[in-house]
């Protein structure tokens, strides 16, 4: 695999887009973890690491990485039909109502934030596609955006390298879930950082796999995580929306 160089400008934009300060409301979602904690399946740093690793390798981490990569590939070609199909696919893959909300609310908020402050300034095919798909007067403008597709389109429009984008996306996902665990288990900040550090090799491997994979490789096998997400829908008292 050839690594694309990352310019300082691209790095700055990527850090901004995936920062906890970017207004997508990521802190309000736990990806079903709140239910898993209540069921006592995640109760310390070791069990949190194991749970996140499974999600990354066999669940939405891997699938979202592939969706993001495929979106960037199609966007760079200006392939509007394929990006629209990926929008529909990204929404259809969600296993529960709350997971659908998690990806669509964050993705749609991401697009809105980009339009208000980070509209692409390049003139390539991806930037033109972004303009067409987000035109407020467009009759076929998507109303809901799955988060990885939204990030992939914007990253392509800003000409950010795909490997860096996938790595950053997975890191942001892990960091948000770990932050939820720090609050809900609860765990200490140092335990949270140790989990994040231990998962670095997994993110590198999943990024590499995603870059070599296609849509035929999509699929998840994290049934307990999916069931936890469904159970969370009926939870009476909660800290998180998912």
Q: What is the 3-state secondary structure (H, E, C) of 101-162?
A: HHHHHHHHHHHHHHHHHCCCCCCCHHHHHHHHHHCCCCCCCCCCCCHHHHHHHHHHHCCCCH
DSSP state of 26: G
pLDDT recorded at residue 137: 84
Q: Does domain 45-226 have CATH number 1.10.4190.10?
A: yes
Rounded to an integer, what distance in angstroms lies between the CA atom of residue 237 and that of residue 3?
46
Omega cis (within 30) before 235: no
Kindly give the parts of the chain with pLDDT less than 70. Answer: 1-2
Residue-range domain boundaries for the chain: 45-226
pTM over 0.85: yes
pLDDT on residue 1: 52
Is the CA virtual torsion 229, 230, 233, 237 positive or negative?
negative
pLDDT of residue 2: 58
Contact predicate 133/141, CB 8 Å: yes
Is-contact 192 122, C-beta < 8 A?
A: no
How far apart (Å, rounded) are the C-alpha atoms in residues 176 and 106? 13
Q: How many other C-beta atoms can be found within 10 angstroms of the C-beta atom of residue 81?
A: 8
The DSSP letter of residue 178 is: H
């Amino acid at each position: 695999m050839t690594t694309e160089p990352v310019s300082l400008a691209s790095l700055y934009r990527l850090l901004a887009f995936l920062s906890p300060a970017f207004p997508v409301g990521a802190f309000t979602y736990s990806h079903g973890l709140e239910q898993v904690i209540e069921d006592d399946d995640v109760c310390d740093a070791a069990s949190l690491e194991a749970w996140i690793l499974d999600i990354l390798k066999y669940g939405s981490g891997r699938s979202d990485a592939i969706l993001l990569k495929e979106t960037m590939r199609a966007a760079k070609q200006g392939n509007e039909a394929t990006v629209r199909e990926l929008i529909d696919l990204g929404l259809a893959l969600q296993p529960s109502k709350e997971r659908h909300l998690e990806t669509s609310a964050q993705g749609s908020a991401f697009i809105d934030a980009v339009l208000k402050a980070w509209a692409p300034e390049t003139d390539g095919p991806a930037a033109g596609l972004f303009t067409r798909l987000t035109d407020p007067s467009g009759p076929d403008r998507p109303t809901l955006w799955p988060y990885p597709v939204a990030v992939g389109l914007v990253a392509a429009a800003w000409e950010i390298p795909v490997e860096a984008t996938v790595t950053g996306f997975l890191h942001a996902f892990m960091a948000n879930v770990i932050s939820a665990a720090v609050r809900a288990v609860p765990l200490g900040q140092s335990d949270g950082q140790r989990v994040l550090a231990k998962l670095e090799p997994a993110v590198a491997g999943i990024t590499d796999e995603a870059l070599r994979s296609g849509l035929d490789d999509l699929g998840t096998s994290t049934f307990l995580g999916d069931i936890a997400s469904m159970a969370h829908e009926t939870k009476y008292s909660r800290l998180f929306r998912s």
